[in-house]
Amino acid sequence: MYYDDHPPPHFHAKYGEHEAQVAVDTGAVLNGSLPRRALALVQEWVLMHRHELVEDWRRAERQEPLANIEPLP
């Protein structure tokens, strides 16, 4: 996530030379693209950490430090 980023709540996922903006609420790609397998892993991660992602979006809006979110096991 980036501070002062535009709505809707989203984060930027990078895989190699690919990058996508991914919606926090749905896991849908808003802009960009990722390979199918990478996107599936990102979407699985979103399902596991949606609440934490929402809280980090709120922190970013308030210009507060973001919390670390665990990767997939």
Q: What is the pLDDT of residue 73?
A: 87
Distance (Å, whole) CA 41 – CA 38: 5
Tell me the pLDDT tens digit for each residue of 1-54.
999 899 999 999 999 999 999 999 999 999 999 999 999 999 999 999 999 999
User: Is residue 55 a contact partner of residue 63, using CB atoms and an 8 Å limit?
Assistant: no
Question: Residue 4: its pLDDT value, please?
Answer: 87
pTM for this structure?
Answer: 0.91
